[in-house]
């Protein structure tokens, strides 16, 4: 019986720890109205510190950090028109900011140097 209780407690604490790490923070909007999203770029994929769901049209700063050991890139487009909004290379360890106006068309981004799939943010309200 003690073993069952111990296993139950371990399971509960494990699930609580997982649930805390599974949910990203909401993006912060500064007093100047700019919403900031932090992206880490690895070899072949991006990772976001904040959730990318439920975004609204407006001014955004994407803070991109190259976490790989080689040159990568940033390419940002309007998701509907495919208009180029911003792009640049990033050296290993480098961080750069991409400031853009996001409309209800949404945006999409990828690395054109180390090709990654497009990440489409198409639910902008």
- 105 is a domain residue: yes
- 7 is a domain residue: no
Tens of pLDDT along 71-113? 999 999 999 999 999 999 999 999 999 999 999 999 999 999 9
* Residue carrying structure tokens 């998701």: 79
The CATH number covering residue 105 comes to 2.60.40.420
CA separation for the pair 66, 39 (Å, rounded):
9
Three-class SS string for 68-116?
Answer: CCCCEEEEEEECCCCCEEEEEEECCCCEEEEEEEECCCCEEEECCCCCC
Expressed as residue numbers, the domain containing 45 is 25-121
Per-residue pLDDT at 2:
57
CA separation for the pair 24, 54 (Å, rounded):
13
- 86 is a domain residue: yes
- 115 is a domain residue: yes
47-51 average pLDDT score: 93
- 18 is a domain residue: no
The total number of structural domains that make up the chain: 1
User: Binning pLDDT at 50, 70 and 90, where does residue 114 land?
Assistant: confident
Q: Are 50 and 38 in contact (CB under 8 A)?
A: yes
- 58 is a domain residue: yes
Q: Is the pTM of this model over 0.85?
A: no
Cβ-based burial of 122 (10 A; exposed 0-12, middle 13-18, buried ≥19): exposed
- 20 is a domain residue: no
Per-residue pLDDT at 124:
85
- 80 is a domain residue: yes
């Amino acid at each position: 019986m003690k073993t069952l209780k111990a296993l139950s407690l371990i399971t509960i604490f494990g699930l609580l720890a997982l649930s805390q790490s599974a949910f990203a923070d909401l993006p912060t909007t500064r007093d100047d109205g700019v919403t900031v999203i932090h992206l880490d770029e690895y070899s072949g994929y991006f990772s976001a510190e904040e959730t990318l769901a439920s975004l609204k049209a407006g001014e955004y700063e994407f803070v991109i950090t190259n976490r790989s050991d080689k040159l990568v890139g940033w390419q940002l487009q309007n998701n509907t028109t495919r208009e180029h909004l911003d792009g640049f290379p990033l050296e290993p360890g480098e961080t750069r900011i991409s400031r853009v106006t996001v409309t209800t068309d949404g945006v999409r981004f990828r690395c054109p140097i180390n090709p990654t799939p497009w990440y489409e943010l198409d639910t902008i309200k």
